[in-house]
A and B are shown apart, each in its own frame.
Chain A
Amino acid sequence: MPNSNDPQELWQLQPSEARAIALYEIHRKAKEEERKSRRQAIGNLTISVMLTGFSVWQAVMGRNLLQRIAFAVIGTWTLVAVIFAIRKCRSVGVAVASTGVDYYRAMLGRRRDQIQGAWLGLFGPILCACAAFVVPVIPNLSQAKNAIPFFLLLVAWAVMYALKAATELRYIRRELAQLEHPIA
C-alpha cells in the first residue's frame, strides 16, 4: 500500500485509469491531425485570398479616389501578410524533443507571433476595410446612421480583443524575461 505521507510514493503508485493506446489508434490520430491542419491552412488562405480579391476589386471599382487608394493598400497589406505566413509555415519549428526551457520559450514565442500576426495579417486589414467603407459615407449622415450599431459593435469587439491580446502579450513577455534570467 502506498504511504500517503510520502509524495513520491503516492505519485508513483497512483492507480491507472486509462487503457493502453494501440499503434493503429496513433496512426489514425496522426492522419486526422494532418487533415485538420491542412483544412485550417486552406481556410486561412481562402479568407486572405478573398480579402485580397475584394480589396483589388474595390481598388479598381471604388466610388472615390480615397477609397480606391485605401483598398489598394489593404490588398497589398494582406498579400504581404500571406507571403510572410507561408514562409513562416515552411521554416523549421522547434523539435518537440527539445529541452523544456527551449521548447517553452519557442511555444511562448509562437503564441506571441500568433497574436501579433492576427492583428497585422487579418484583423488590421479587415478593420481598415471597414473604415474605408465608413469614412466616405460619414458626410452623408442619414446613410451613416443605420450602420452606427454595427460599427459600435465592431469597435467594442476590437477594443475588447485588443485588451485581451495586450494582457496575454504582457504575460508572455514577462515569462520570456524570466526564462532569460531564472531565479537561481
Chain B
Amino acid sequence: MQDDLYQRAAEEHRLALERVSRAYEADPDKRRDLLQEIHLQVWRSFANFDSRCSVRTWVYRVAHNAAASYVIREKRSALVSIEDLEARPGEDRLESEGSRQHALERLAELIRQLKPLDRQVIVAYLEGLDAAAISEMTGLSPANVAMKVHRIKNVLARQFHQGGIDAEQQ
C-alpha cells in the first residue's frame, strides 16, 4: 500500500519534487542528495497517509518539511522574509545578459534567500496553487497567505516586468 501510493505520487509529482529541491539547494550534487531525502520522506510518510487531504497537498507538505529540516540543519546564511524582500530596493533585478536558464537561476536564488515558511508559500504560488491550497499546506491563515502572495507578486513583478529580461533583450 505504502509502496503503491509512493510510486504513483512519485510518478505524478516527480518534476514538482525536483523543483522543490531547487528551491532549497543551489549545489547540483547536494540537490541530488536533498531530492533523495525528500523522496525518502515522502515514501515514509505514506505509511500514515489518512486521505484527509489530497495526495498533492500531502506530497508538497512532506517535501517542503523535509527540505525545511535540511535548511535548519545546514543553516548557511541569514535568511530573510518576504516582507524584508519586498522592502528592499530593487538591487536584485534580473539582468538582461542571461537566457531563460539564467532567469531561472536568479529566480531560484531569490527563493533560496527566504525563510523556509516563506519559501513554501512562494514555491506553492509559482506551482500554481491557489490561496486555499497554500493555506491548507502551510497552516497559515488565508488572510496571511493572501498578504504574502500579494507581496510575492510585488517582488516578482519588480523582477520580471519592470525592465525584466525580455524587455531588456529587445
Interface residues of A, Cβ cutoff 8 Å to B: 2-8, 10-12, 14, 16-18, 20-21, 23, 25-26, 29-30, 33, 95-104, 107-108, 111, 168, 175, 179, 182-184
Contact = CB atoms under 8 A, between A and B. Distances in A.
A63 B126 CA distance: 68
Interface string B16-45: 001101100000100110011001110111
Nearest to A183: B83
B15 to A, nearest CB: 6
B100 interface: yes
A179 B41 CA distance: 24
Contacts of B140: 100-101, 182
B69 interface: yes
Contacts of A168: 75
B56 interface: no
Interface in B1-22: 3, 6-7, 10-11, 14-15, 18-19, 21-22
B160 A5 contact: yes
A23 B126 contact: no
A104 B116 contact: yes
Judged by DSSP, the binding face of B is helix
B43 A30 contact: yes
B117 A20 contact: no
Contacts of B115: 175
26 contacts: A3-B166, A5-B165, A5-B166, A7-B160, A8-B128, A14-B22, A16-B14, A16-B15, A17-B28, A18-B32, A18-B35, A26-B6, A33-B40, A97-B61, A100-B61, A101-B138, A101-B140, A103-B65, A104-B65, A107-B68, A107-B69, A107-B72, A168-B75, A175-B115, A182-B144, A184-B147
A11 B32 contact: no
List 4 tightest A-B contacts by C-beta distance, closest first: A99-B139, A101-B139, A100-B138, A11-B126
A102 B139 contact: yes
B62 interface: yes
Contacts of A183: 81, 83, 144, 147
Given A12-B126, A29-B40, A100 B139 contact: yes
A11 B107 contact: yes
Contacts of B167: 5
